[in-house]
Structure 1
Amino acid sequence: MTDQTDALPVTIIDDEEDMRASIAQFLDLSGFAPQSFEEAAPALDAIDEDYPGVVISDVRMPGMDGLELLAELQRKDRDLPVIMITGHGDVAMAVEAMRAGAYDFIEKPFDPERLSDLVRRAATQRRLTIDNRLLRRELADGTVLLRRIMGDSPAVERLRATIMDYAHADAPVMIKGERGSGRSLAARALHAAGPQAGHPFLTLNCAAEPASHIEERVFSPDRSGNPPLLIAAGQGMVVFENVSALPARLQTRLGQTLSDGKMSDGAPIRCRIATIADEKVGEEVASGQFSPGLFYVLSALEIVTPPLREMGQDVLKLFEHYVDRFAQDYDTPRPDMSAEDAASLLAHDWPGNQRQLINIAERFVLRARQGTPTVRVVLGEEPAPEPSDARAAESGARPLKDHVEAFERLQIEAALRRHHGAIAPVMEELALPRRTLNEKMAKYGISRTDFV
């Protein structure tokens, strides 16, 4: 039987008991979590707007038939995939259902494998729909978006606290950090956590277009008469990237306009300004590449995104998160991480920061299909610059005790995740008495309720 906790739910509605039972049995053996109903009404009550699965319904049923059920389901959620089962003489009704928005139909008698394939394809579509909805909600919910800045290290805690502190300010903010350290995510979190949430979030990469195009876009209406960027954003946020790539004349004009708080025609600028800058932006100012006047306008407030090498054991949490995600994306078993893998992750310098970590996690999952991978081998496939003496000393300064504790915490969390917070099977898997497990969970600040 399938583990019902993780399997994709499928709701089956058919007034024929034998048909319901046979479909449910086959889908269960195929890795789904079927739930059967004899009538449409109780099934309708059990399906909400964010139901994560697929619905299979007979067309002809007493009371509410399949077409009426489809109409009611679409009032709840037009994107919910519904597969209709038809008898030999009901093809016309099935075609009508397709026109009304059904995902597909299958005619009795049917090949169970074909039904299973239909359900899998519909489930893939449903997952994309749900993921897109969650993303849109995250972009509109500052607290949810802040949780995407993952980690418990002091550096990450400071980052989240600073974002919350600055979210309700009006002053321009400069987000500094190394490439790949999450500067764009910090900008979105800043927007979503403040009064600008719900208003436009517009970005402009000043190195991606000719300066003349950027000048027109920032200061002039477009050919369709739409307002310039600083006005089009309304009370939202405009994020500038690579501002130092602008010519000096345009930097001066931008700085003066933002200082005045209005356009040349007198229109007030109501949007908040954020800038994404390199961690060495001070050198650009000193060399004259970045106008000091514009820099001081844009950097009234500063947020610094920490490099991955300063995030300590958060590296392991992030790696586990992305391994889980890629294992789901590629529909492959999640590879386990060894103590050697954990030590390699903690010792690595991560010049590419989180972007590099994401790439390594994906390769780790893909190589697991060919055998047991190791992080060290995967890291060796992407030659990185030799770390500086200071960084090498820093990465080698962690005592063995830190590596052991990091791996121990990782294994306890992984076991709790596998057993959904149930303590007894975790004790059995890790061969730990309850008292020892409780002490270690308290030591590492692990709560079983986070995994239930």
Structure 2
Amino acid sequence: MTSLSSQSPDLKVLIVEDDPNVRLGCEQAIQLAGIPVEGVASAEAALPMIGQDFPGILITDMRLPGMNGLELLKNVILNDPALPVIMITGHGDVTLAVEAMRAGAYDFIPKPFSPEHLVEVVRRALEKRSLTLEVESLRRRLAHREAIEARLIGRSPQIEKVRRLLLDVADTAVDVLILGETGTGKEMVARCLHDLSSRHAANYVALNCGGLPDNLIDSELFGHEAGAFTGAQKRRIGKIEHANGGTLFLDEVESMPMAVQIKLLRVLQERVIERLGSNQLIPVACRVIAATKENLKDLSDKQRFRADLYYRLNVVTIDLPALRDRREDIPLLFEHFMLHAAQQHGRPLPEVSREQLQQLMAHDWPGNVRELRNAAECLVLGLRRDFGRASTAEPREQSLAEAVENFERSLIAAELRRQNGNLARSSEALRIPKTTLHDKIRKYGLQA
């Protein structure tokens, strides 16, 4: 039989027993079964070790010096009702055992007991605990997923890939580089990374590196002491120090001056800063998320961005797709933005005609999601009805085959959404055989 420790390596057993011989015997029996175990002599010693989602189970003797086993049970159950607690009772303590079960104990073992019986009860309790913790973890993950889907809207494979990666790295300490054209939602992704992490209660500090003169960005990032330069009348805490314990978001990081890049690299490597005009090293523990619309590797090759900083930032990269590369998301995004604009301005929700939808799907959207949001707001306000010639920017050059494929993909995606994924109704509306529609869905990576 496979040991439970090999199935759930993080789960352990905590034993509370004041008799050292009994405690040692229990520990040895459980260790021989391949299960991690730790023993303490009192309830007072055990309580600090048992927090919310304790990764294991508790075994306690009923009779202990100081706080007894029943009081310990009630304390831990109050904090974590799903924690399995096994009570060890003396011969004849039937009344206490019944009271313990009513108070929420998982099981009780009367003395004397065999090592085999102890291990059997422990295994069952650990299996229950493993399932409980797995379900809780899944619930949290689903809650995070729902939160992400409500903010990063779309059903395309490209945006689903972004959501999966975001979920994987959100609650880690790793620094992140976000790549994407203007308007693709880089700051939204940075905010999601912060909100879904254990740092969410701490500061989220954003700085646009391209929005400050070169002579101010140093002071903004690192702060300064009084008298550090002309006009510095008092000490100022910089953005990095203010983000300590939280998240620092650096947008348009490609605009950062070379001299400041060197100092930022030191922060990333050593996690310390020096305010301007000070020699004191200040430890900082913030996560750094950088965003850029440029290819930093190309810039570093041209010596316009430090290569060592690029490689230090490029640990985890989230590449945001342009809106033209996920056209099937346009109807859903546009509807979302119209709903928001209608609520914000107290206007009725307009209907989008088939002709307008075709214009939306065919437009190149050089401003990406930001441009689409502005178009939705204009439609709600009655300022715009035609989306065919909205942009004066030069469209991206496409071959005829690319243009036809993009348009076909957009129409199929829109029809699938209108028919709630029903292939039969969609193929009938599009006037193509069901098998042909199925092949095209696979070709374009769509979801029925």
Q: 2:181 aligns with which of 169, 174, 178?
A: 178
- Measure how far apart 1:279 and its partner are: 4.2
Q: Give the letter for the 1:177 counterpart.
A: G
Q: Is structure 2 residue 237 aligned with structure 1 residue 252?
A: no
Structure-1 separation of matches of 2:328 and 2:188: 21
Q: Give the letter for the 2:285 counterpart.
A: R
2:83 aligns to what?
none
Q: 1:384 aligns with which of 382, 385, 393?
A: 393
Structure-2 separation of matches of 1:148 and 1:261: 31
Could you tell me the percent identity over the aligned residues?
28
What secondary structure sits across from 1:175 in the alignment?
strand
2:246 aligns to what?
236
Per-residue CA deviation, residues 352-396 of structure 1 (Å, 9 max, x unaligned), is 10011112112222337xxxx74xx23424323132135x64332
The 8 Å contact of residues 178 and 318 in structure 2, kept in 1 or not, is answered as yes
- Measure how far apart 1:154 and its partner are: 0.6
1:125 aligns to what?
none
Change (3 A) 1:317 1:266: same
1:339 aligns to what?
354
What secondary structure sits across from 2:147 in the alignment?
helix
The 8 Å contact of residues 176 and 183 in structure 1, kept in 2 or not, is answered as yes
2:372 aligns to what?
357
Structure-2 separation of matches of 1:235 and 1:250: 22
1:303 aligns to what?
318
For residues 255-404 of structure 1, the aligned pairs below 5 Å read 255-264=265-274, 265-367=280-382, 374=385, 377-390=386-399, 393-398=401-406, 400=408, 402=409, 404=411
Superposition RMSD in Å: 3.4
1:150 aligns to what?
153
Q: Give the letter for the 1:386 counterpart.
A: P
Structure-1 separation of matches of 2:164 and 2:326: 16
For residues 66-145 of structure 1, the aligned pairs below 5 Å read 144-145=147-148
Change (3 A) 1:326 1:379: farther
Q: 2:191 aligns with which of 188, 191, 202?
A: 188
- Measure how far apart 1:240 and its partner are: 1.1
1:80 aligns to what?
none
- Measure how far apart 1:403 and its partner are: 5.1
1:162 aligns to what?
165
Change (3 A) 1:308 1:260: same
Structure 1 residues without counterparts, runs of 5 or longer: 1-139, 414-442, 447-452
Change (3 A) 1:222 1:364: farther
Structure-2 separation of matches of 1:359 and 1:348: 14
The 8 Å contact of residues 342 and 403 in structure 1, kept in 2 or not, is answered as no
Per-residue CA deviation, residues 105-155 of structure 1 (Å, 9 max, x unaligned), is xxxxxxxxxxxxxxxxxxxxxxxxxxxxxxxxxxx9885255211011111
Change (3 A) 1:231 1:331: closer
The 8 Å contact of residues 148 and 163 in structure 2, kept in 1 or not, is answered as no
Change (3 A) 1:236 1:293: same
The 8 Å contact of residues 244 and 290 in structure 1, kept in 2 or not, is answered as yes
Aligned residues: 278
Mean CA deviation greater in 229-238 or 186-195: 229-238
Change (3 A) 1:222 1:396: farther
The 8 Å contact of residues 319 and 357 in structure 1, kept in 2 or not, is answered as yes
Structure-1 separation of matches of 2:159 and 2:447: 17
Change (3 A) 1:204 1:341: same
Structure-2 separation of matches of 1:170 and 1:349: 37
Per-residue CA deviation, residues 315-351 of structure 1 (Å, 9 max, x unaligned), is 1110111122223333333222222222222222211
Structure 2 residues without counterparts, runs of 5 or longer: 1-142, 227-233, 275-279, 421-440
Question: Which has the greater radius of gyration?
Answer: 2
For residues 25-44 of structure 1, the aligned pairs below 5 Å read none
Structure-2 separation of matches of 1:230 and 1:288: 25
Q: 1:227 aligns with which of 227, 237, 242?
A: 237
Change (3 A) 1:397 1:300: same
Per-residue CA deviation, residues 75-128 of structure 1 (Å, 9 max, x unaligned), is xxxxxxxxxxxxxxxxxxxxxxxxxxxxxxxxxxxxxxxxxxxxxxxxxxxxxx
The 8 Å contact of residues 297 and 307 in structure 2, kept in 1 or not, is answered as no
Structure-1 separation of matches of 2:382 and 2:181: 29
What secondary structure sits across from 2:405 in the alignment?
coil
Q: Give the letter for the 1:184 counterpart.
A: E
What secondary structure sits across from 2:318 in the alignment?
strand
Change (3 A) 1:404 1:203: closer
TM-score normalized by the length of structure 2: 0.55
- Measure how far apart 1:190 and its partner are: 0.5
The 8 Å contact of residues 348 and 395 in structure 1, kept in 2 or not, is answered as no
Change (3 A) 1:282 1:396: farther
Structure-2 separation of matches of 1:399 and 1:358: 21
Change (3 A) 1:195 1:221: farther
Q: Give the letter for the 2:369 counterpart.
A: Q
- Measure how far apart 1:290 and its partner are: 1.0
